[in-house]
Amino acid sequence: MIAVLQRVIEASVRVDGEVIGQIGTGLLVLLCAEKGDTEAVADKMLAKMLKLRIFSDNAGKMNLSVQDVAGGLLLVSQFTLAADVSSGTRPGFSGAAAPDDARRLYDYFVAQAQKAHPVVQTGRFAADMKVALVNDGPITIPMRMTA
């Protein structure tokens, strides 16, 4: 499973001009399920994400997690994170999970996040989404979890 975490002051997702998810301070998470990913991988990714100390404390040091700052999570599915650009000029996406598996794992991840964290918003799986954000820092953290 691949994720790109962006520490944000605010972020939103629009589909067909309508805001379907938005947060203030927190993490915008672009999330991609890869072939072979399981619920256990999703659980491991979520646990790490919620505890990752990338928010500043009073001394300006990155010592606080999204949970510590009571920030939001905006979870957006993005299969293009699995892009393989090793040959040619057109990315290949054969490493991404099949659409049905990806949707199942994305839905599972969202459900687990909602159980573990009070503020969870989402994009819409497989929709043409417009994502807006104000990156704080900027702080952008790529993550990859495997079984």
Q: Render pLDDT for 70-120 as a digit per residue (tens, 0 to 9).
A: 999 999 999 999 999 999 999 999 999 999 999 999 999 999 999 999 999
CA Rg, the chain, in Å? 15
Mean residue pLDDT of the chain comes to: 97
Please report the pLDDT score of residue 67 as a whole number: 98
Q: Across residues 12-18, what is the average pLDDT? A: 98
Distance CA 31, CA 142 (A): 10
Look at 76 and 147; give whichever has higher pLDDT. 76
Structural domains in the chain, sorted by start: 2-136 (3.50.80.10)
Please report the pLDDT score of residue 147 as a whole number: 84
Quick one: 13 exposed, middle or buried, by C-beta within 10 A (0-12, 13-18, 19+)?
Answer: buried
Q: Across residues 22-45, what is the average pLDDT? A: 98
Assess whether pLDDT exceeds 90 at residue 136.
Answer: yes
Residue 112's nearest CA partner among 33, 64, 23, 45 is 45
With a CB cutoff of 8 Å and minimum separation 6, the contacts of 97 are 33, 34, 35, 36, 37, 79, 105
53 pLDDT tier (thresholds 50, 70, 90): very high
Q: In this structure, are residues 28 and 5 in contact, taking their beta carbons and an 8 Å threshold?
A: yes
Residue 5's nearest CA partner among 44, 56, 45 is 45
Assess whether pLDDT exceeds 90 at residue 9.
Answer: yes
Q: Across residues 43-61, what is the average pLDDT? A: 97
Residues with catalytic roles: 78-80
